[in-house]
A and B are shown apart, each in its own frame.
Chain A
Amino acid sequence: MKRFQLKFAFVLIAVFLLSGCWDRYELEERANILALSIDIAEEGEDIEMPEVTHSKGEFPAEEKIIYKVAAQLAVPGKIMLGPGGGDTNSAETDWLLVTYGYSMKDVLSNLQQELAEKIYLGHIQLIVVSDKIAKKGLEDIMDFLKRDYEVRRTAWIMITEGEAQEILNATPPVQTVPSLYLSGTLKDAVMFGKLPKEYLGKVWIDFSDVGVDAIIPLVKPMGDHILVDGLVYFKDYQMVGTLTPTETGAILAMQGINPAGYSNVIVPGDKKGVYLVKPFKRISKISVEIQDGKPKVLIDVKIEGFVEEQLYTNDLSKEKLQELEKSASELGEKALSSLMKRLQQDESDILGIGARVRAFYPKYWNENVKTEDDWREIYKDLDIQIKMDYKILRVGMEWK
């Protein structure tokens, strides 16, 4: 009996100590995809598609688009962590593979066919999409990304004009993993107030919301690094236009996001001198009212800034500052109004005015608007007033 008890105890201990994991899935068995670029394959390209998910020519698409996807893979063991990592060139640590396919999963299946390790999307940092796809609509590529449980909602999505693969070719000399550098560029841009916080998860929310249209960062390849070139704005799932960095700053101001990342060039009323003023605090209030059965929008932006540079003159004083504030407010109002006009023309409601009408005036919405398309019609001729109050508090280390 005692022997039996001992044996039993041994088995019990073994069960608890020697248990393993069914889903054991070691790092070196994974092909970590760090970045994806999605292009439309041009005609005449040397397209080679293995028959992985379907037989040749039997993909049942309404309009066959061949996606060209470049995947940046981390080579296991090559990435050095810590300060020693500076010695390795980024060309050694990553591996760019190009595959073709009719859909996202089709492409990745084709890619898997070429790889020994199992594709793992859990570390994906960024997804670059070419503007051609964005103009056709992002709906089709989003379903896979949303459905797959490995893809992080905090990954970045960006759009580039031209070939998206160019972005992944950027190999910055300062960091070993290019895609980490690229996603870092965007993250820092958000931190410094140059971009709104529009990562993948946020973009999905904007796409789903009624009365909100999405914005996605626009980037441009610059050889070994990238330029954050403003924003792309959408109408439903389709890209309808781009915003320059200045306009991005204006959008951020209207959203009341701090800190502000862009300085403004301001010419005072008497045309003497040019000033660069940087806002450091912005408060914005988007208020909607229903007047005579029509929504009326007032965007009230309050900005506090400081003078960063004075050019062609040297006469900064209290009076001059007041003049500067006045012309800054006027200039800002004019710029914001024309920007809003453009967005209205393109029927892109990126500030979420429709969502606000829907939230605060549900009765009006249900009687007069009902659907998002109806809202776009109303949004087109919406009366949007912009009020800006620019205050300059500081002038830097110079008295004059």
Chain B
Amino acid sequence: MKHTDSISSIQLAVIIASTIIGVSLLVLPRFIAAEVGEAAILASIVGILISLISVIAITLLARKFREHTIFGCNQLLLGKYFGNLFNYMIVIVFIVIMGLEVRQFAEVLATGLLPNTPIEISIFIMIIICALVGYSNVSTFAYIHFFYLPFLLIPMFFFLFALEDIETYHLLPILGHNLSVKQFLSGAIIMTQVITNYFVIAMLIPYIKDYENCVKHGIWGFFLGALAILYCIVVSLGVFGAKELQEMYWPILSLSRIIQIPGEVLSRIDAIILITWIFAVFTTLLSYYFVIVRGTAELFRTDKYSFITVLMIPVIFVFALIPNNVYEIYEYASKITYVSLFLFIILPVCLLVIGHFRKRTGVQ
């Protein structure tokens, strides 16, 4: 299959980074601190390393099977029926995740920015904006990510003004208090769950121009996104401490509310951080929508992308409205991510191993 539009491996890296920085940025420090307390930093690093497996697996897969997306690989390596089962799972998981993330986004807006706007409106508009992109052109998709990445990263420098409020005793002990290995790992898994959402790159495999560099650049992009998140965790833990973090709902939002810029150029920067975060949500949801649309198209062997895009709007909308309250959103989200962790990490690794043996025995 020949494609007229293509993306470079640098664009691939940017897509990974801007997908990682997403909805959960605001709430993540709270969840990790609630699980492992002061060990949040170490747990996050372990979580990042677990997630790294997925980047390496997918990019290696990309180098090996240049003509196929992950859907194609599934069919090729696992057989048609078994492979398609996984393909359906991927699409469903992404629909659910996207619904939940849109809902989280709308909840934050309703609590912190637009109290009178019905969340249905916020949800609907966000889905519409994502749908408007149209997923028929891959390079447009890559350019949008490329354009927004600076808007995600630059405002994070504001957190540097909070460095003076960091207390050493909030960050220590690095191993936490009385943590069992199991607790520590469950904290690490939270981090993995949140940042392993760049599965969209597995849908981009046939479009990559320079396959030689895609592993290297993929890892760079991954670290760019993951370290930005780690940085937010370190600052919020250092400023608030594990106990206060557990008491608040959106620590990064609260963090942006205590930052005072010297010279009083801006008296409140929480609006800027919220806007940044809306960009972050948009780019993340864009990647999810891409997987949903392109995945469905590939399942049904069609290229009517716009039709599928429109068809998916009400589906995602319904999933977004299922949870009854803020606690339920996060309950569902953590449940679904256990399925997604299997699909995003274990599945690519398995495919890689199977592909390796198949090549050796000459069955292709």
Contact = CB atoms under 8 A, between A and B. Distances in A.
A239 to B, nearest CB: 20
B305 interface: no
A201 B173 contact: no
A23 interface: yes
Interface string A145-162: 010010011100000000
A358 interface: yes
B169 A23 contact: no
A154 B259 CA distance: 8
Interface string B217-249: 000000000000000000000011101100110
A298 interface: no
Interface string A209-221: 1111000000000
> Which of B169, B239, B258: most chain A CB closer than 10 A?
B169
A210 B114 contact: no
Contacts of A10: none
B245 to A, nearest CB: 9
Contacts of B170: 209, 355, 359
Nearest to B175: A362
A366 interface: yes
A359 B112 contact: no
Contact of A362 (B112, B171, B173): B173
B175 A204 contact: no
A208 B247 contact: yes
A312 interface: no
A204 B260 contact: no
Contacts of B240: 205, 208
A138 to B, nearest CB: 15
Contact of A23 (B115, B167, B173, B241): B115
A399 interface: no
A287 B260 CA distance: 30
A359 B257 contact: no
A173 to B, nearest CB: 24
Interface string B168-180: 1111110111100
B137 interface: no
Interface string B293-331: 000000000000000000000000000000000000000
B139 interface: no
Nearest to A358: B169
B243 A209 contact: yes
Interface in B239-296: 239-241, 243-244, 247-248, 254, 257-258, 260, 268
| Listed residue (A25, A153, A199) with the most chain B CB atoms within 10 angstroms of its CB | A153
A22 interface: yes
B4 interface: no
A352 interface: yes
Nearest to B253: A149
B286 to A, nearest CB: 20
A152 B257 contact: yes
Contact of B169 (A154, A352, A366): A352
B116 interface: yes
A205 B117 contact: no
Interface residues of B, number: 33
Given A22-B116, A22-B117, A152 B268 contact: yes
A306 interface: no
B241 A208 contact: yes
B115 A154 contact: no
Nearest to A205: B244
Contacts of B173: 358-360, 362
A280 interface: no
B169 A356 contact: yes
A25 B117 CA distance: 12
A210 B165 CA distance: 17
B38 A359 contact: yes
Contact of A359 (B114, B172, B247): B172
B111 interface: yes
Contacts of A366: 177-178
Nearest to B243: A208
A365 interface: yes
B121 interface: yes
Nearest to A152: B257
B175 A208 contact: no
B111 A149 contact: yes
Interface string B111-149: 111111100010000000000000000000000000000
Contacts of B243: 208-210
Interface centre among A25, A362, A365 (most CB of B within 10 A): A362
B258 A154 contact: yes
A211 B176 CA distance: 15
B255 to A, nearest CB: 9
B168 A359 contact: yes
B258 A355 contact: no
B169 A365 contact: no
B169 A205 contact: no
A366 B260 CA distance: 36
Nearest to B176: A362
Contacts of B248: 146
A209 B241 contact: yes
A154 B260 contact: yes
B10 to A, nearest CB: 32
B114 to A, nearest CB: 4
Contacts of B117: 22-23
Contacts of A22: 114, 116-117, 121
Contacts of B254: 153, 201
A10 B193 CA distance: 45
Interface string B186-209: 000000000000000000000000
Contact of B244 (A152, A209, A355): A209
Nearest to B254: A153
A360 B173 CA distance: 6
A310 to B, nearest CB: 36
A211 B241 CA distance: 12
Interface of A: 22-23, 25, 146, 149, 152-154, 199, 201-202, 204-205, 208-212, 352, 355-356, 358-360, 362, 365-366
Interface of B: 38, 111-117, 121, 165, 167-173, 175-178, 239-241, 243-244, 247-248, 254, 257-258, 260, 268
21 contacts: A22-B114, A23-B117, A146-B248, A149-B111, A152-B268, A153-B254, A154-B257, A202-B165, A208-B244, A209-B170, A209-B243, A352-B169, A355-B169, A355-B170, A359-B171, A359-B173, A360-B172, A362-B172, A362-B173, A362-B176, A365-B177
